[in-house]
Chains A and B, each alone.
Chain A
Amino acid sequence: MEASSLPAPERALDTRRRRDRYGDVALKWITGLAAAGSVGLIGLIIYKVVDGARPALSHIGISFLWGRTWDAVSNHFGALDFIFGTLYTTFWAVLIGGPISIAIGLFLSELAPRGVRGVIGSLVEMLAAIPSVVLGLWGILVLGPVVHDQFGPWLNTIFGWTPFFSSKPISGSSVFTAILVLTIMMTPITASISRDLFAQVPADIKEGAYGLGLTRWEMMRGVLLPYTRGGLISAVLLGGGRAVGEAIAVTQVIGATTHGLALNTFLTGDTLASRIAEQYQGATSFLQVGSLFFLGVILLVMSLVVNFTAQIIVRRYAIERAH
């Protein structure tokens, strides 16, 4: 039926219907485009970073991964020391921060009195909100001297026989300081995820455990921890992912000079992210810029692997729970 042959009120309704049909389609497509764009953004990031690394890929190739020098004068670049630095600092940060975070999660969900629970929980999350550059400033001007004057000599005297503290720190800037800062950064993330995990454990199985006469610690170890195991692993992974990717605070405190694959945490060091950040104005040659992008590719791969693994574990764990 022709629209013009309708009486006036119905014609108005008809235009409105048509407008609504267009409105529905338009909103769906506009928002869909935004969604597709944010998925495409990941592809674009990967493409651009790999593209930037092309000079290094063609001149140095895959041996960049185990190259040991970073010399802008003779144009030799390699990444092994930085890969090691990232893995080593993250390893320690996770080793120290992981158990502390889980303990905080347990405290917040099971032990803290109701009144202070919310307050302490919020304060722990506030710690995550401190900008990394502020934490780095504090790290270099406050924590660094303490590491140099107190922690360093003290740990060296007691644990000097281990490879980790085999000398006294020469300055406040050291791998050790970076590990402490990274631990502070990852802890609130892992702690608040684990608190949420513990809160999801059904009350009846907790009560069942208490009913059998278990103490609180036995209930936590025997019920909460096994029940949330998958989630806890990914909580720690996500915290570790933060440590892997942190550039600014690490740059400020780690000292920006590598000592090869040294285990001694009181020496200066460098990580993938901090090396990129340090050279923001110094990169002059084509190959050096390409090498920085190559470091970015390695860093991107590492953080994608960590995040995907965490996601997969969470999902598998959620499916197991559903059965």
Chain B
Amino acid sequence: MRPSLKATGRARRRLLTNRASELTAALAAFGAVAVLAIVVIDVIQKAVPALNIDLFTQVQATFGESGGGIENAIVGSAIVVGVAAAAAIPIGVMVAIYVSEFAHEQVRRYVRLALDVLNGVPSIVIGIFAYGLLVTGSGQAAWKGSFALAVIMLPIVARTTIEILGLVPNALREASVALGVAKWRTVLFVILPTVRGGILTGSTLAVARAAGETAPLLFTTSIFLNSVVTDPRQAVDTLPFTIFVYSEAADTNLNQQAWAAAFILMAFVLVTSLSARFLLFRSERKIRGR
């Protein structure tokens, strides 16, 4: 009689355990994807009925009335995030240049640790920090919200730029020095142009992150006029703040607009972070390919 090749006893139990564990892991992964799909589909479904031209061209309607829009929140978000990016991106890139081109090993490690710690500070704490530093005594303003957002963006820009600078082959630096080019020229005109893509990635990621932050804005730019404000010295409405307030409103009209605002914000954030991934992929390939 030929012995059967079918696993029995211990071997069978091992195979079954293996199957079960593989299935569990796959379920976990698909669960996460399902949650993403559910959230995105819910937002789209509930936002579509509320999407109209008024949303982009009007400010909040007086209480109880239907209609109205969130134009001031869209404009305000653009201003707050724009000012924050204008401050955080250059400084973040400078930090990265110092860390990868000038600093000693020991200093390098401390700055990187500092950036990690900064990245781990809860955004609400950064909110009250900005409140204590800038708002107490002089009132709220859009640029004070930008300051808080810039604190959040700085470590993101710096860390991505440091990583991409680490990919630049040393031969490039050596070639430049061998030609008698000064270090500062090497850094600014040889190294930096090579990592343009990486810097763009870090900046895009940081903008995506900052655009969705609410906590730092609560204490810095939450009391504003119900009109379109473009002056960063005044407090402005923002998309995340509008969603935050409207989500808890008892008025279903405002709930609807919260969904519409969430849709706009989410579309912006997802599209920017997707393009950041694409940019990173392309620039890494470009640098490695050299």
Contacts and interface: CB of A to CB of B under 8 A. Distances in A.
A114 B127 CA distance: 43
Contacts of A140: 247-248
A10 B184 CA distance: 21
A31 B102 contact: yes
A317 B198 CA distance: 29
Given A35-B111, A133-B240, A28 B98 contact: yes
Interface in A199-258: 215-218, 220, 238, 241, 244-248, 251-252
Given A220-B21, A296-B128, A307 B120 contact: yes
A269 to B, nearest CB: 16
A137 B32 contact: no
A241 B15 CA distance: 37
Nearest to B91: A34
A281 B24 CA distance: 46
A131 interface: yes
Contacts of A135: 39
Interface in A70-115: 100-101, 103-104, 106-108, 111-112
Given A34-B91, A137-B258, A247-B123, A28 B102 contact: yes
B17 interface: yes
8 contacts: A34-B94, A112-B26, A123-B32, A131-B214, A137-B262, A142-B42, A241-B120, A245-B123
B249 to A, nearest CB: 11
A158 interface: no
Interface of B: 14-15, 17-18, 21-22, 24-26, 28-33, 35-36, 39, 42-43, 46, 91, 94-95, 97-99, 101-103, 107, 110-111, 113-118, 120-129, 131-133, 136, 151, 154-155, 158, 182-185, 187-188, 208, 211-215, 218-219, 222-223, 240, 243-244, 247-248, 255, 258-259, 262, 265-266, 269-270, 273-274, 277
A168 B136 CA distance: 43
A38 B270 CA distance: 28
Contacts of B243: 133-134, 137
Contacts of B129: 44-45, 48-49, 296
A296 B132 CA distance: 11
A304 B244 contact: no
A37 to B, nearest CB: 7
A42 to B, nearest CB: 6
A303 B117 CA distance: 9
Contact of A26 (B14, B33, B184): B184
Interface residues of A, number: 85
Contact of A112 (B21, B29, B182, B274): B29
A117 to B, nearest CB: 10
Given A45-B125, A45-B129, A123-B36, 19 more contacts: A38-B115, A39-B110, A41-B154, A52-B136, A111-B25, A120-B30, A127-B32, A130-B212, A130-B270, A138-B43, A141-B46, A142-B42, A245-B124, A245-B125, A277-B215, A303-B122, A304-B121, A306-B120, A311-B116
A252 B247 contact: yes
Contacts of B136: 52
B32 A218 contact: no
A103 B24 contact: yes
A308 interface: yes
B15 A215 contact: yes
Contacts of A24: 182-184
A32 B102 contact: yes
A9 B39 CA distance: 69
Contacts of B131: 52
Contacts of A107: 25-26, 28-29
B115 to A, nearest CB: 7
A112 B155 CA distance: 32
A216 B22 contact: yes
A217 B18 contact: yes
Most chain A beta-carbon contacts within 10 A, residue among B97, B247, B265: B247
B286 to A, nearest CB: 19
B187 A49 contact: no
Given A123-B36, A132-B212, A215-B14, A38 B28 contact: no
Nearest to B247: A137
Nearest to B243: A133
A272 to B, nearest CB: 9
A31 B94 contact: yes
| 8 closest A-B pairs by CB | A131-B212, A245-B122, A20-B182, A31-B98, A307-B120, A34-B94, A247-B124, A103-B28
